[in-house]
Amino acid sequence: MSSDHHPVTALTREQFAERAASELEFVYGERSREILRRLQTLIDNQREALASAPKPLWSERTQLLITYGDSVVQEDGTEPLDALDDFMRTHLGDTFSAIHILPFYPWSSDDGFAVIHYREVSPGLGDWPQIRHLGERYNLMFDLVINHVSRESLWFTDYLAGSQPGRDYFIEMDPNTDVSAVTRPRNTPLLVPVNTRRGQRHVWATFSDDQIDLNYANPDVLIEMLGVLLFYIRQGARLIRLDAIAYLWKELGTRCIHLPQTHAIVRLIRALIDHVAPGALLLTETNVPHHENLSYFGDGDEAHMVYQFTLPPLVLHTLTTGNAEQLTEWAATLPPLPDGCTYFNFTASHDGVGVRALEGLLPQHDVEALLELMQRFGGFVSMKTGADGKDSPYEINITYYDALKGTRKGPDPWQSARFICSQTIMLGLQGVPAVYIHSLLGTLNDHENVTRTGHLRAINRKHWQREPLELQLEAYSTPTHIVFEALTGRLRVRREEPCFHPDTAQKILHLGPQFFAFMRGPLADGRRLLAIHNVTDKPQRLELPDGYASEEWRDLLGRFEPYGENPVLKPYRSCWLVNDAQPR
């Protein structure tokens, strides 16, 4: 990575102590001094292993692949992490600068997000040497699954037995407690009955009865998890994803989401990273309405990046209606980014397409039409329970490729073109782009996996066998070949274009509902890039807006000529126009 905009400097021990003391005092009051001493001891005991020179934050070359360690597997006995390494070296080279390897720790459910052992690699994937080997070529993102652990973890075993250290790591509550105000991302019971040596007890479980929430009111839990974070950094993590961070702190009588104590702990983690691994990046995962999501930038002192959760469902709405008005309006109202912060742009991940981010952006009838359409295209809708006890949609479970197999009129022959358009929109927007491996491979809905596992999210978590995958990549007519070649080509173009630096300014253009368009730049030398996308299934005549028509433009994607009597952008085509008249 390289960056001219944000030189990175490490927080000194004194600076870190000052910031940490402030946050710890807010959260833990009079216990804060003792907790800070323990934290500094933890750091000092590992300082030599943690020592690293500051590294730049990001550049236009910063592009992430999101994948499970076993998304590509081989039948010849090759361990999955080695198979992933070989697949990337064979087909992707340096197309991506970083890999988000989804939880590769021993787990009991939710494909990794119910962690049994935080400091181990699941034996079915490989071991730490394979992880570190991947880290020699790519920057690595690790998940810090910070809110909850598996009920099979040693900590929870301690709790059941009444033994230390886990005895006080969980939130025990009378089952008659009124928890109706608590924000729920699921429709399962919040308080889960468990049998302990002291009899039946009920513990807090935000996500499932196998994912038991940790009790951060106990500072031992915080110290334990910060130790895990330092361990990940020692193993080569350059990006840390805080999973489900919004639910971290619990306080009865509140919604138990986005509480001030949670933000204070995020600021503490940010300070710790800036101290021990300057230039490493912190990403918060908060699948909530957009304005709530943005709060995790803080004053530039919390996350370096937040997920652009509004983008996936709003792009689906845009391309299935052929109308970019809502996407244009939303993008035009994005607030300025705090210094040293940017968006984590994506359209698909291991989870479904969240719909909470559409709250206040789309009329309810449009949301309902989108949900109905996704079900027609083979997807499912997962539900959550509101404060009134009623269920409402939480996310769409579908592969992004199949989500775009048609429009509201039904399936049509434009699926691949429409899907490639969706990815091109995401790649060009201000921020750091992340591509899910099943988007890169044009993967279809895996209903067999849903049937086998009983989990709706399994529809988008296929395990590709390497040999049939290679055949799909070689066959010119397959979605896998078409999508892979198009996206890798765009990624290679993107990484060489300085206008795509995450810090480069963005201006949304209003060219009519048939287009989604924006400008990146200008750079110091005057270079600008116009990204224009036809979001309809009809050819559209394109006239460059005032202030742009007099310049000399060239399409980096090599398909569109903006001059002449009748410049037409074909259905779902995109162009990245740069003004080559300006010196680079």
Catalytic residues, which ones? 243
Which pair of tokens denotes residue 145? 């699954």
**Contact (CB, 8 A) for 257 and 246:** yes
Dist. CA 137–CA 130, nearest whole Å: 12
Which pair of tokens denotes residue 214? 């940790």
The β-bridge relationship of strands 281-284 and 432-436 is unpaired
Query: CA-CA-CA-CA torsion for 397, 399, 404, 408, nearest 10 degrees?
Result: -20
Q: How far is CA 414 from CA 316, 411, 570, in A?
A: 14, 8, 11
**Contact (CB, 8 A) for 280 and 273:** yes
**Contact (CB, 8 A) for 578 and 497:** yes
Dist. CA 40–CA 227, nearest whole Å: 11
Distance of CA 24 to the CA centre of its chain: 28
Partner residues linked to 393 by β-bridges: 383
Interior angle at CA 167, CA 161 and CA 169, nearest 5: 140
Dist. CA 503–CA 342, nearest whole Å: 7
CB atoms within 10 A of CB 64: 23
Dist. CA 526–CA 132, nearest whole Å: 41
Interior angle at CA 236, CA 427 and CA 463, nearest 5: 60
Dist. CA 57–CA 394, nearest whole Å: 33
Collapsing DSSP states into helix, strand and coil, what is residue 223?
Answer: helix
Dist. CA 313–CA 359, nearest whole Å: 11
Q: What is the DSSP annotation of 352-415?
A: -EE-GGGTTTS-HHHHHHHHHHHHHTT-EEEEEE-TTS-EEEEEEES-HHHHTSEETTEE-TTH
Which pair of tokens denotes residue 77? 């006995």
Task: For helices 415-428 and 311-321, give the axis angle rounded to 10 degrees.
Answer: 140
Collapsing DSSP states into helix, strand and coil, what is residue 237?
Answer: strand
